[in-house]
Amino acid sequence: MRIASVGHAIFAATMIGNGILGLVKGDWVSLWQPIPHNAPVLAYLCAIISLITGIGLLWQRTTTTALRVLLAWLLLWLLLVRVPGIFLAPAVDYWWAACMIAAMAAAAWVLYVWFATAWDRQRLAFATGDSGLRIARVLYGVALIPFGIAHFLYLQHTAELVPAWLPWHAAWAYLTGCAFIVAGLAVLIGVCARLAAVLVAWQIGMFTLLVWVPIVAAGTKDAFQWSETVVSVTLTAGAWMVAESYRGLPWLAAGRSYLAQ
């Protein structure tokens, strides 16, 4: 067994969890929703890929193969399902879902760069090394900005999710929305990118802990709340993985802008 970091282990566990949940439900889980048409066979395929690649991430001999499959599947889903969906049904559900897949693809890409073999570096040089990390971070930075915009478009709903014991609910909605947008720009322009990525991971993680965990612990039977909890946990794992890609770099470094490349 070869685990590169805590984030690696959590990311793998999250993919396993999504796979098990999909197989138990016999239906789509939040990671892959919404979809234009019901396709139960494809739902099972997504669940199986999540489960098998998640398990594969935990074993040294299968890690790279699992990452090739998972990254390819996430990118195909983004390009063939999510991006067309934005234009065919330009509602917040579709572009928010596209950003979620982009964020998870970025996390998988970071791991792929770490575990790339000599074969990968020779034949897929653009996807490995510094260039691979650059692409992963661009995907992630672009994904964060719409997350923040959604807080403003759905201000009242976002404010309602703030725990009752915290004051100024609308202010927290504004603050977290701005934090997503600023962090996305920081990642893209390379200014304080490590600090931004870590703070966003903490923000998503605290949102999971303070908002969704208490709701689930209270025994909710609301399918939407369970779905949002799974989404939040999944995004926390992805955010943690991307944040770890900056380890060793200065917290306040001003690097080269990805927007100019």
- pLDDT tens-place string over residues 100-119: 999 999 999 999 999 999 99
Percent of the chain with pLDDT over 90: 52
pLDDT in tens, 240-256: 999 999 988 887 776 65
Query: Is it the case that residue 26 has pLDDT exceeding 80?
Result: no
Residue 133 CB coordination number (10 Å): 20
Query: Is it the case that residue 195 has pLDDT exceeding 80?
Result: yes
Distance, in Å, from the CA atom of 61 to the CA atom of 2, rounded to the nearest integer, reads 9
Residue 11: which of 54, 62, 52 has the closest Cα? Answer: 54
Distance, in Å, from the CA atom of 138 to the CA atom of 255, rounded to the nearest integer, reads 13
pLDDT value at residue 258:
57
pLDDT value at residue 223:
67
